Structure 1
Amino acid sequence: MSEQADVGYRDFQRWRPSVEVAFWVVLYTLNTVFNGIVARIDHARTAAWEPWVWESSSSLLILLLIPFVKAMERRWPFRFDTWRHSLPWHLLATVVFSLVHVAGMVEVRRLAYAAVGQHYRFGAWWPNFGYEYLKDIRSYFVIIAMICLSRLWLLRQQGEAKLLAEPDDGPPVEPVERPERFLVRKLGKEFLVNASEIEWLQAAGNYVNLHVRGRDYPLRSTMAAIETRLDPARFLRVHRGYVINLDYLAEIEPLDTGDARLHLRDGTGIPCSRRYRAALRERYGQPVTME
């Protein structure tokens, strides 16, 4: 991947939260406009403002519920290897999503109608809720699909690491239980990253991010699983969520809490918890004392 593309990706990461918010706002604003026009045509006998209240109240509640959908997808990832396990939880979440969506938009509509001296009637709850639920389950999984597509795009831009697999025939090209290299896929290309070049590792949900020369490559693994496969003479666990390559450690900064902050050669600061600080001291021949 070119340096220019890498710079573009890092710039995007800095602006990513704002870009994501803007994306959802623009998407549902356009959705409100198109649906509002259609509703105005279908309900020509109603007041001109009513269809816009209906559609804008619905879009507003969906926007407010997007963090809930994202949290569900983080907790139960919707991927090719996990969707069977995750689907029942997401189906249950659609009920919660729809109940909150319908109840919220009804209240917003009541307030809007009251502001002009009118009364909004949703009608019989259960028949109308059934109709709304069919639309909400579609909206929920459209959001899930957009999240998954976004993740796939980011992985292609960022690159994704994996352990080299043992070949079907012949001896392995390296020790499979303690790999010397990791295979990285990025924008349709594959290349190898030496384990010795990994500066630090960070747990991130179902992944462990391998930090190499200013770039992060997610590896599908738990921290505990990958830690056992790294060279213990070079790598050390310093926190529940971090492992560092001692070759890149520049400074240990003790903290008053008994923890420490580790400064790497590239200026990165890594937390070192009290639990792992003793092992770090022993590695450098310092006496271990109780604090």
Structure 2
Amino acid sequence: MKTAQNSGVDGVQGQAVDSRDENSPRLQRWLKKITAAPNRFLLLALLIYMVINNTINATSVWMEITRDGQPEFALWELFVWEYSSLLANFLLLPLIFWVWQRYPLRFSYPYRQLLMHAGVSLLYAIGHVSLMVAMREGVYSLAGGNYDFGPVLREFFYEYRKDVWGYVFFLLVFNIYHRVLSRIAGEANIIANSEAEEVTAPSALPEHLLVKKLDKEFLVKINEVDWLEASGNYVNLYVGERIYPLRSTLSQLTTKLNSQFTRIHRSHAVNHKAIEHIQYSSSGDGEVTLKSGVTLPVSRRYKDQLKHKLSV
């Protein structure tokens, strides 16, 4: 049953807060898959879009040039041109996504952002054109012909105009996709302790997360978070079958939650109360098995820290 309550916690007093998430199990499974690798699903969606778009472009040009007689080039050449551009984009997008995650859009320092994206878009265009031309020359060579790109500066400027527009399109799609995903999957924020609690216990562990999902807000206890996973500019918080992204780095978050969570890997931290057992190998690495059945790696770098924290 869904309940609305006054939480009595700073930042949400007087607000209606849902006590639990009511997404269907099927939707939760899909959200778990997508939030575990969000860019992989975006790449797949963009690949489908580009295949459809470039196929339409190739067939449309073919219909236009055959309308008044014999064309100057074969149908397969149009598909080579379109699909070489598609494949070049597909190879470059993961690198572009990495840059956008590391340097997300900000309203502050607009000129610095503009200069950064101008530089990245130029590098993207150089990479796109280089890969595209190399693929075309390879296909033409196999077909016994020769691909002529034309005057380099003129043709690069022609391609660069289109690539800048494509760069802006992909940037908008990337940010809209992640914004919508965070609204659907839920984005968490740590609720600070009250001022009185901060005076008496300045390092006290926050008790709740405020999760915003679509038009709802609800509370999740920090104690219920099993483990943390670094994901770009976010940390994914695993609560049972649910995953909530929180804008932070893993180092910052584990420092804030130091009394209950310990980092065990460059990408993972674990809630002490969620641990079922720990097993180490002769190499010095190990793995933690949680009460939920999830197994996480323990690297040698963090092994001693984990042993110390659990023995205190």
Cα deviation per residue 1:145-182 (whole Å; 9 max; x = unaligned)?
A: 2222222232223211012268xxxx659658642111
> Relative CO higher for 1 or 2, CA cutoff 8 Å, sep ≥ 6?
2
Cα deviation per residue 1:213-241 (whole Å; 9 max; x = unaligned)?
A: 22221111122322232261x33333343
Amino acid at match of 1:273: S
CA drift of 1:79 comes to 5.3
Matches within 5 A, 1:97-246: 97-114=124-141, 118-164=145-191, 172=195, 175=198, 178-230=205-257, 232=259, 234-246=260-272
Q: Does 1:271 align with 2:297?
A: yes
TM-score by length of 2: 0.76
CA drift of 1:191 comes to 0.6
Aligned CA-pair RMSD: 3.2
SS of corresponding position for 1:239: coil
Question: Measured at CA, do residues 139 and 190 of structure 1 come closer, stay the same or move farther in structure 2, by a change above 3 Å?
Answer: same
CA drift of 1:192 comes to 0.9
Aligned partners of 1:72 and 1:90 also within 8 Å: no
TM-score by length of 1: 0.80
Question: Measured at CA, do residues 103 and 280 of structure 1 come closer, stay the same or move farther in structure 2, by a change above 3 Å?
Answer: closer
Q: 42, 55, 62: which is aligned to 2:89?
A: 62
Aligned partners of 2:288 and 2:297 also within 8 Å: yes
Count of residue pairs the alignment pairs up: 281
Consecutive unaligned residues in structure 1, runs of 5 or more: 287-291
SS of corresponding position for 1:46: coil
Q: Percent identity?
A: 32
Deviates more, 1:129-138 or 1:191-200: 191-200
Cα deviation per residue 1:92-140 (whole Å; 9 max; x = unaligned)?
A: 2222222222233333334444555554332211122111101011112
Aligned partners of 1:174 and 1:180 also within 8 Å: no
Question: Measured at CA, do residues 86 and 195 of structure 1 come closer, stay the same or move farther in structure 2, by a change above 3 Å?
Answer: same
Q: 246, 252, 274: which is aligned to 1:248?
A: 274
Aligned partners of 2:186 and 2:244 also within 8 Å: yes
